[in-house]
Amino acid sequence: MKPAQTTNQSKRQRFIFVARITALIIGVVCTIVFPPWRLVFANLMPLPDTIEEYVKQGTERGFDGIILYIDRAGEPPAFYSAGWHDRDKKIPANPHALFKLASISKLYDALAITKLVSNNQLSLDASLAQLFPNLVGRIENAEEITLRMLVQHRSGIPNITDVENFWVKPPITQQEALALILDKAANFPPNQEFEYSNTNYLLLSMLIEKTTGMAKFEYIKQAILVPNELHNTYGSLSEVDTDKVMSGYYVGIEHDIKMSDYGTELTAMIGTAEDVGKFIRALNDGSIFTDEKEQAIYSELYFYGHTGLMPGYQSIARYHPDIDTVMVQFANTANFSDYQHWGLFEIQYNRTLEILRQ
């Protein structure tokens, strides 16, 4: 039996080797024959002398409108915009417009959890089963998944936005959204991998409300926004004059999708680039924290900058310590079926940094 087993193992090893080589060759050929030329050209094009010129060039890369906010230490904040606030009405982009923040809101959620942990209202080591006993048997590994793993995207719970047709017919309520992944197998054992999952933050939203007895955004407003004078950040479209919200567009759809509802608890937060920039600055310089304990908890828990993507809206908000600068970039056009579209958005952001660093 042993010689036969050895022969079979050798065959399998040869097959795996050949398969890997074949995959490599196919990958190289595809890269040569079908290179991402738009990304290549965007990276190689000479940079203009000013940021204002470069922001205007961004509208030539498939973005209907762009907003840019730059807070460089020791200088007044700079505001830029190009393209359309409302394409149909021919209203130019306004750097002070409200914008759907999408996943940038996770920074606020993570900070809210931090505050509740610091106040001993929650424990990062509490299991999902302890926090939501009704989910035992409905979410795999509920007894092993901890609050810390939810915040850090290490739970293994499937991502609700990966469910087929999520964005075509999005759920309205938290329970409808959660139902999409109940009784599904985990993607991996708890704490074994990192995998970005919006389900984690849906559960955190529910937990904040369960713990505080108030709507999640109301708690964020009281605990984070008001104390830090962030008065241009809101919980939903219903709280604002929608004419002040930048229109949103999806490639292939002609009309403005600003008023479309894509899951209230996941994508509801709205704010100006300036308010987001002030938040990012305070998060990174530590002034947003009540005390050192709170800051220490957060520093081991989550990120200090974030991106956002939803139908009609793309965003990046980050702090760059080498130049002591916060930069927030918004664009009101999205295309989930074309990875190069997001790539162009990131190139726009990164090359703006190049100009800043000159």
Mean pLDDT, residues 180-186 taken together: 97
pLDDT of amino acid 168:
84
Range scoring the smallest mean pLDDT among 90-104, 157-171, 173-187, 193-207: 157-171
Mean pLDDT, residues 209-228 taken together: 97
Mean pLDDT, residues 126-145 taken together: 98
Range scoring the smallest mean pLDDT among 25-29, 150-154, 189-193, 264-268: 25-29
In the chain, count H helices and then E strands: 13, 11
Over 90: is that where the pLDDT of 316 sits? yes
Higher pLDDT, 27 or 128: 128
Report the alpha-carbon distance of residue 124 to residue 311 in Å, rounded.
Answer: 32
Higher pLDDT, 115 or 12: 115
Q: Which two tokens stand for residue 28?
A: 């190289």
Over 80: is that where the pLDDT of 178 sits? yes
- pLDDT grade, residue 307 (50/70/90)? very high
Report the alpha-carbon distance of residue 106 to residue 310 in Å, rounded.
Answer: 14
pLDDT of amino acid 14:
56
Mean pLDDT, residues 87-100 taken together: 98
Distance of CA 59 to the CA centre of its chain: 22
Q: Which of helix, strand or coil describes residue 140? A: coil
325 bridge partner residues: 72, 320
Mean pLDDT, residues 224-242 taken together: 96
306 bridge partner residues: 317
pLDDT of amino acid 10:
54
CB 196 within 8 A of CB 202: no
Report the alpha-carbon distance of residue 163 to residue 176 in Å, rounded.
Answer: 13
Mean pLDDT, residues 138-151 taken together: 98
Give the model confidence (pLDDT) of 14-36 as tens digits.
554 555 555 555 444 444 444 68
Report the alpha-carbon distance of residue 309 to residue 280 in Å, rounded.
Answer: 18
Over 80: is that where the pLDDT of 262 sits? no
**Average pLDDT, whole number, for the chain?**
91
DSSP H helical ranges for the chain = 2-33, 37-44, 51-58, 105-118, 128-131, 147-151, 174-179, 198-212, 216-220, 264-267, 273-285, 292-299, 339-357
pLDDT of amino acid 268:
83
Considering the entire predicted model, what is its pTM? 0.89
Residue at token pair 């002030």: 278
CB 311 within 8 A of CB 257: yes
- pLDDT grade, residue 302 (50/70/90)? very high
Q: What burial class does residue 167 get, using C-beta atoms within 10 Å of its C-beta: 0-12 exposed, 13-18 middle, 19+ buried?
A: middle
